[in-house]
Chain A
Amino acid sequence: MLEVVELSKHYKNKKAVKGVNLYLEKGETVGLLGPNGAGKSTTISLISSLVNPTSGDVRLKNESILRNPEKIRNILGVVPQDIALYMDLTAKENLEFFGRIHRIKKKELQRRVDEVLDIIGLQDRKKDLVKTFSGGMKRRLNIGVALLHEPELIIMDEPTVGIDPQSRNYILETVKRLNVEKNITVLYTSHYMEEVEYLCDRIYIMDHGEVIAAGTKEEIKSILSAEQSIAIKVEILKGEYLQLLQALPNVKNISVQDPAITLIVPKKVNILKDLFKLAEETKTNIISVHIETPTLEDVFLHLTGRQLRD
């Protein structure tokens, strides 16, 4: 349904997106992951025709949207990363305003507003000013506005950032329902691996403006299937110990979550002996050691060298 070909966006002193390729099939939910500044939001702006690419193409149903952005605008709903609502209007007034802007007919509009309020579960707060809403409710309304004109494709840019778990679950369920019941195609950006794991069929991982991995969850996890991750918890983390660990020949990746350290090493290597020996040498007290098969988060760490969240 949607195809992104060698898409690039260069700003004066920053190449935000560098030759990204991706596609969306009708009815799919696709995840877009990447650390801060990876270029996710820029990619979304490019796809939704808000920003013109430096090079490359976005094709909707085999037609380029660059010269004809109306085509995608009519079928697309975008949930922006930041809350884009009028704080001094009520929830209902916000929906009415954006509905009018979308030229939804008067009679139709009331029906749509009502339906959206049901979907986002704000029917009982519709007459309240948005500024009185909790973070979660604002996020829900932020999503609701993008649903008014019944889009075939929704692009969500971190729709659950900074909200309580309850609202988060509600939003995830809503997205799932929209996808399953209405067959809406979803491109979902998140900082939370478990959300993407729960919602998405396929995943793209971006870093420094490039897609560095793509595929189904299983395909992506298999990148690290020959590896294991070892989490060491210590009493006091010493730089000396860390340096010695880093110097070990088989350690592929090392990350620190003080007072814990996560190592990624090939499965067949037995590294435990070295860990304890080095601990003794540096007088580091090890509290626990966990050996795990890699999660999506580990894959991410492995590929980008960074945590998903700062």
Chain B
Amino acid sequence: MRGIVWANFRMLLRKPGAFIATTIICIAFAYLLGKSSFTKVEVPVYSSLPEEEVNSIIEELNKGDAFEFIVEDEKEVKNKVAAGSAEAGVLLEGSSFTLFQVGNTENFHLINQYMERYYVKRLKEKAVIDLAADSNQAFEKITEVNGNQLFQLSVASFSDENQWVYDPGLQSLFGFALFFSIYTVAFNVVEILREKQLGIWDRLILSSTSKIEMYVGNLLYCFLIGYIQIALIFVVFKYGAGVDFYGSFGKTLILIIPYLFSIVALSIFLTGIVKTIGQFNALVPLISVSFAMLGGAYWPIEIITSDTLLTISKAIPITYGMELLKGATISGLSYSELLYPISILILMGVVMMGIGIRLMERRHV
């Protein structure tokens, strides 16, 4: 068994081209798409506050890296929103803000969230300052702050339960890493079929190596190569690009294990059902791309609203892989809170591997 893993790594070192290429392409995609999500969305702003105060608010707001707030006059702001050239407009006031929108857009929620966070902070600060000057008035102010919290907004979908935090950098990093690893794993698993066709497996059978060792050796290698690739990509992003894993970097490296297990199993399952390697080569991009779309690797699954698509996504390993990685980082969930997606992935893996190996054994190359 160790011999099989050894031989495979030897061959990888001889021909690392495909591995290096997919790794680099994956890094490039994740970087470019993650970054483009960061290019600032322009938000026109108007206000009747004194210019000095407006400027200090704008300066503060523009410290974030998602939005660019620009002061304009009221008419222009409203025109822009109405014409759709801005996703939302903002009226800044001393202790509250008003958002203008036409239609519901993804960024609208984000802008709202962002503004709200800013005002909560701002009001707290203000309250504390005022408290020091005049306690009576300050008391009123604080109740005002607490009771009348910025709800001049008409945001129907903005309730607690479907509130989700969007981190475009991690989204694209995780998405592309999980997506590309399907290629890496699948095209290594199918080598088993090629070796069977070449007669190398017959040689192994005739030696004292058992079938179990043959499968474990080869599949373990495929798993490891997928693992090394994802780990490498994560390391590049953490230490190279300084991406924030919310302190769960180590955890993500563990959580990709059940995901990769299911992908190895998926690959051996596909290898079992195809008639030729050519079919396999055609099938893998088809499956990986549709998996990536439905499983939320290309875009966050949270923006999908179709029940049908959401139901389909429940059968896709990427869905759970993304859930695990985003859960551990962005939402800061613990292992026990992630037990459900972990078990689903392992279950999927066991079932597909069982069927896949059985099919492999039944076929005569």
Assess the A73–B207 pair: CB atoms within 8 A. Answer: yes
Q: Pick the contact of A48 from B2, B4, B206, B208 — CB < 8 Å?
A: B206
Assess the A73–B202 pair: CB atoms within 8 A. Answer: no
Q: Which residues of B contact A145 (CB under 8 A)?
A: 203
Assess the A102–B208 pair: CB atoms within 8 A. Answer: yes
**Contact of A82 with B199 at beta-carbon distance under 8 Å, contacts A50-B205, A101-B209, A102-B207 already known:** yes
Q: Does A66 contact B (CB under 8 A)?
A: no
Assess the B198–A84 pair: CB atoms within 8 A. Answer: yes
Stretch at the interface among A85-93, A184-192, A231-239, A283-291: A85-93
**Contact of A80 with B208 at beta-carbon distance under 8 Å, contacts A86-B7, A89-B14 already known:** no
Chain A CB within 10 Å — which of B11, B14, B200 has the most? B200
Minimum C-beta distance from B9 to chain A (A): 11
CA A84 – CA B197 in complex, angstroms? 9
Q: Which residues of B contact A98 (CB under 8 A)?
A: 203, 207
Assess the A93–B7 pair: CB atoms within 8 A. Answer: yes
Assess the B11–A101 pair: CB atoms within 8 A. Answer: no
CA A45 – CA B365 in complex, angstroms? 14
Number of chain A residues close to chain B: CB under 8 A: 28
**Contact of A78 with B3 at beta-carbon distance under 8 Å, contacts A73-B207, A89-B14 already known:** no
Assess the B208–A86 pair: CB atoms within 8 A. Answer: no
Assess the B208–A84 pair: CB atoms within 8 A. Answer: no
Q: Does B63 contact A (CB under 8 A)?
A: no
Minimum C-beta distance from A95 to chain B (A): 12
Contact with B along A159-184 (1 / 0, CB 8 A): 00000000000000000000000000
Q: Which residues of B contact A129 (CB under 8 A)?
A: 14
CA A85 – CA B206 in complex, angstroms? 15
Q: Which residues of B contact A70 (CB under 8 A)?
A: 208
Q: Does B363 contact A (CB under 8 A)?
A: no
**Contact of A82 with B206 at beta-carbon distance under 8 Å, contacts A88-B11, A93-B7, A129-B14 already known:** no
Q: Does A22 contact B (CB under 8 A)?
A: no
Minimum C-beta distance from B216 to chain A (A): 14
Q: Does A211 contact B (CB under 8 A)?
A: no
Q: Binding site of B, secondary structure by majority: helix, strand, loop or mixed?
A: helix
Assess the A103–B203 pair: CB atoms within 8 A. Answer: no
Assess the A85–B200 pair: CB atoms within 8 A. Answer: yes
CA A84 – CA B204 in complex, angstroms? 10
Q: Does A267 contact B (CB under 8 A)?
A: no
Q: Does A55 contact B (CB under 8 A)?
A: no
Assess the A78–B204 pair: CB atoms within 8 A. Answer: no
**Contact of A74 with B208 at beta-carbon distance under 8 Å, contacts A83-B198, A84-B198, A129-B14 already known:** yes
Q: Which residues of B contact A45 (CB under 8 A)?
A: 202
Minimum C-beta distance from B11 to chain A (A): 5
Q: Does A113 contact B (CB under 8 A)?
A: no
Q: Pick the contact of A101 from B14, B15, B199, B204 — CB < 8 Å?
A: B204
Assess the B199–A80 pair: CB atoms within 8 A. Answer: yes
Assess the B203–A89 pair: CB atoms within 8 A. Answer: no
CA A145 – CA B203 in complex, angstroms? 9
Assess the A50–B14 pair: CB atoms within 8 A. Answer: no
With A49-B206, A86-B11, A93-B7 already in contact, 4 other A-B pairs whose C-beta atoms are closer than 8 Å: A80-B202, A82-B198, A88-B15, A100-B3
The 5 nearest A-B residue pairs measured at CB: A84-B199, A100-B3, A101-B207, A80-B199, A88-B11
19 CB < 8 A contacts A-B = A45-B202, A48-B206, A49-B206, A70-B208, A73-B206, A82-B198, A83-B198, A84-B203, A85-B200, A88-B15, A89-B10, A97-B3, A97-B7, A98-B207, A101-B3, A101-B4, A101-B204, A102-B207, A103-B208
